[in-house]
Structure 1
Amino acid sequence: MVIVKRFWVALVLLALIGVSFTAATISVSPAHAAACFSSFTNKTTADGLGDIVVNGVYAVGSNVYAATNGGLSISTDGGATFTNKTTTNGLGNNVVHGVYAAGSTVYAATDGGLSISADGGATFANKTTRDGLGSNNVLGVYAAGSAVYAATFDGLSISTNGGATFTNKTTVDGLGNNVAHGVYAAGSTVYAATDGGLSISADGGATFANKTTADGLGNNVVRGVYAAGSTVYAATNGGLSISADGGATFANKTTADGLGNNVVRGVYAAGSTVHAATNGGLSNSADCPSSATASSASSGTPGIFLAVNPALVGTSVTGAPIYCGAEGIQPNSAYTLSVQSVTNSALTRTVLDRGTVNSQGNLDERVWLGALNPGSYKIVMTGIHASGSQLVLTNYITVDATGSIGSVSAESQQPFLN
């Protein structure tokens, strides 16, 4: 089970952009805009960044990694201060385009290769074309287990042994273009953002099918990609293109929908919140899921929300995301997120996440389910209303014999947790 604090990560992303920007918002209610973004503190070289030009950022827990034009800057105190890593520490080049981390392993996409650290970023070993990379100009990186994906200037390079060696994929394998700006993977599905379209593989990167403007992309130059379930987001030179059918077709969002600029350089999504890095600023959507509030004292906001995307039906329950949060409930109050078998009531309730909301009574995060046996399950989110009343929302899902989600119910309110 993995938890992403998406509200905090969004703040960090904004805080690390060392240039002026305007924030555009897609379909955000005033209440939600206020709840999602309040104020920001900008970090610069005075705080330890290698350069004020920050090309990418990743955060997990209190560790923040900033890919800059002057090195990889690492914070262990939530972004308050940074220590900068350079070629002296083993980086292939001080220009770092992207970064990813998993545990103590840190991956830095540099202009001189893919630099990998096994000690939290203290030292790096650099991988180059000698190790199978398509190019030493690495523009993006992603890793999942022993699989490492490097988006390079001359192909998508894939490692199945933790980055020791790579096999390079090109247009011969179905990529839209050999210039790969970004990469994301979920299970055996691999997404490559290229100069010639969004290339999608269903076989772990062996072969790719390419999506272009003919499939609804805003532009064939795709600079970034992210996916959650069957929803795929492509950052293009002509807008943010969103697919609800696994990448088969796309609907494009532009400045007419609130984007700061139609040139979108990166995208990240968590639940109903989408962050698009554009040439005109960081554009954020913050639409809440349906049934977003629950309260025994109030039928509207403030309240809690819980969502399991019905589009996940037919996909594996393992790794399926659950989105939960709160707005304006009792400050610093406790919340829980749990799953319990309905089919076998003898099984104990498993707590997926618990903690406290912030001092404004807000919470916004995503939790991934683990493997579940076939049967019916209820997913329960609890919180405390500002009045002191308990809030409870429940989703029901079924898991079939193959381990896939068979059905998802709408959220329902109940007066107590069994």
Structure 2
Amino acid sequence: MQKRLSFEKVFLPAFKASIQRLMAILAMVVCSTAAHAQIFAQKTPANGLGSHAVNGVFASGTTVYAATNNGLSISTNGGDSFTNRTTTHGLGSSAVYGVFASGTTVYAATNGGLSISTDGGTTFTNRTTTHGLGSNSVWGVFASGTTVYAATDSGLSISTNGGTTFTNRTTTNGLGSSTVNGVFASGTTVYAATNGGLSISTDGGTTFTNRTTTHGLGRNEVNGVFASGTTVYAATWGGLSISTNGGVSFTNRTTADGLGGNMIWGVFANGTNVYAAPAGRLSISTNGGASFTIMTSANGFTHGDTRGVFVSGSTIYAATVGGLFISLDLPTVTAVNPSSGSTLGGSSITITGTNLTGATGITVGGVACSAFSVISSTSATCTTPAGSAGAASVLVTTPGGTNTANSLFTFAAPVTSTAPIPTLSEWVMILMASLMGMFAFIRLHKKLK
């Protein structure tokens, strides 16, 4: 009997506590690993997009512009919902291939000209060959100040007066082909992605020097281009070609390096993070393009044929033929108040952090809160579960993932009284002493009267 009591009262509680601690550690490891996984949300015509087919995307703050096959769709709430603009609002064509914005000025590359808005995309004025464009089929656009570059089917058209008039550049000026699919500029250096190579100008687009497979490009057909300093990225029909010497020579990356396809439609880079839009699923590199990871359905990326990619802050926007995919930011937890509570649970705590909206669960020490509520994107409340004494990790799970493990909360054993409990005879003595004192007080009170 004594051995049974020893097992149930000593060993069993200790065993349960050990298991609970192990589960908490496993939860932290799993959540920490999951935190590194990028999760995407898909936007479609149900969210206001003009079409499922999105050819290009641009974002600034919470304003997102999606170039679709049936209009330019604009969101002012980070992509939650869109308002679509078409020829009714002044676009040259509802088939929009590219978009760029600077402040309230929006440029839409359409199949019927370059459409420019100065009121944030409410209305547009269209520019055509009448204004100097090489062709009314405009595949891409880039702007810097009052200089506007339009990649057209018949040349690179450049305006120095905000798009009022254009001067067109062709093979006569050194372009590899007059079919220009994309354009990027930095200062007086202009990069034109053509059907005959990547053409680079160092005099603002007056003359060009052309780069081809001879210089390391995957193919001479170049769909898009991006540059940062002396690093140049060319999206070709045969891979993503990367130069670290300003475009003098290139190293080509293909599916062998992890890309989702060799036909690359667009590219974006931010530091050592490189984002490639192949005729497959979005591919992301975190080592400057040496190797890539393909986004799959496990990341929420449920559609292939990525046509363009843009990154703003920590948010990735991928234009595909199946909609616009927007990455969801991971939640963070920076503080918990109060920072400690009883191991018995039941403490009400306030969690402070970021990206908490849409939380689907909150755990403390690896155990789900008995109740929780999201107050805002930076605040949530939780009723703690029972836990083992010691530091505990507070983890918030949202559609974007789970925050990294921490030790922001501490479970403390409840304080119990060590004072002895009086016996029955002691209670009788206490009662008698109290009664004697009360009678003595009454007699004294009568004498004084």
Tell me if both proteins adopt one fold, taking TM over 0.5 as the criterion.
Answer: yes
Identify which of 267, 284, 291 aligns with 1:225.
267
Identify which of 75, 90, 98 aligns with 2:140.
98
Taking a change above 3 Å as real, the CA distance of residues 299 and 194 of structure 1, as seen in their structure-2 partners, is farther
Identify which of 222, 227, 241 aligns with 1:185.
227
Taking a change above 3 Å as real, the CA distance of residues 292 and 201 of structure 1, as seen in their structure-2 partners, is farther
Report matched runs for 1:192-271 at 5 Å.
Answer: 192-271=234-313
In the alignment, what sits opposite 1:134?
176
Contact 2:216 2:241 in 1 (8 A): yes
Deviation at 1:259, TM superposition (A): 2.4
Q: Does 1:6 align with 2:6?
A: no
Taking a change above 3 Å as real, the CA distance of residues 5 and 156 of structure 1, as seen in their structure-2 partners, is closer
In the alignment, what sits opposite 2:187?
145
Taking a change above 3 Å as real, the CA distance of residues 145 and 186 of structure 1, as seen in their structure-2 partners, is same
- Over the aligned positions, Cα root-mean-square deviation in angstroms equals 3.1
- Rounded to whole Å, the distance in 2 between the matches of 1:48 and 1:177 is 37
In the alignment, what sits opposite 2:160?
118
Using structure 2 for the length normalisation, give the TM-score: 0.61
- Rounded to whole Å, the distance in 1 between the matches of 2:333 and 2:69 is 34
Q: Which has the higher helix share?
A: 2
- Rounded to whole Å, the distance in 1 between the matches of 2:165 and 2:314 is 37
In the alignment, what sits opposite 1:17?
68
Report matched runs for 1:375-414 at 5 Å.
Answer: none
Contact 1:269 1:275 in 2 (8 A): yes
Using structure 1 for the length normalisation, give the TM-score: 0.65
In the alignment, what sits opposite 2:114?
72
Report matched runs for 1:19-58 at 5 Å.
Answer: 19=70, 36-58=78-100
- Rounded to whole Å, the distance in 2 between the matches of 1:129 and 1:192 is 19
Taking a change above 3 Å as real, the CA distance of residues 113 and 249 of structure 1, as seen in their structure-2 partners, is same
Deviation at 1:239, TM superposition (A): 1.0
Q: Does 1:63 align with 2:63?
A: no
1:191-239 CA-partner distances (Å, limit 9, x unpaired): 0000110000000000000001111111111110000010000001121
Contact 1:18 1:44 in 2 (8 A): no
- Rounded to whole Å, the distance in 1 between the matches of 2:206 and 2:297 is 43
In the alignment, what sits opposite 1:29?
none
- Rounded to whole Å, the distance in 2 between the matches of 1:117 and 1:242 is 34
| Runs of at least 5 residues in structure 1 that lack an aligned partner in the other structure | 23-33, 306-325, 329-360, 363-383, 387-412, 414-418
For residue 46 of structure 1, give the secondary structure of its aligned residue in structure 2: helix
- Rounded to whole Å, the distance in 1 between the matches of 2:140 and 2:333 is 34
Report matched runs for 1:329-348 at 5 Å.
Answer: none
In the alignment, what sits opposite 2:33?
none
Contact 2:265 2:279 in 1 (8 A): yes
For residue 214 of structure 1, give the secondary structure of its aligned residue in structure 2: helix
- Rounded to whole Å, the distance in 1 between the matches of 2:240 and 2:130 is 36
Whose Rg is larger?
2
- Rounded to whole Å, the distance in 2 between the matches of 1:20 and 1:159 is 32
For residue 283 of structure 1, give the secondary structure of its aligned residue in structure 2: strand
1:107-163 CA-partner distances (Å, limit 9, x unpaired): 000001000000000000000000000001000000000110000011000001110
Deviation at 1:296, TM superposition (A): 8.2
- Percent identity of the aligned residues? 56
For residue 42 of structure 1, give the secondary structure of its aligned residue in structure 2: strand
| Runs of at least 5 residues in structure 2 that lack an aligned partner in the other structure | 1-57, 339-348, 359-375, 381-407, 409-449
Contact 1:260 1:278 in 2 (8 A): no
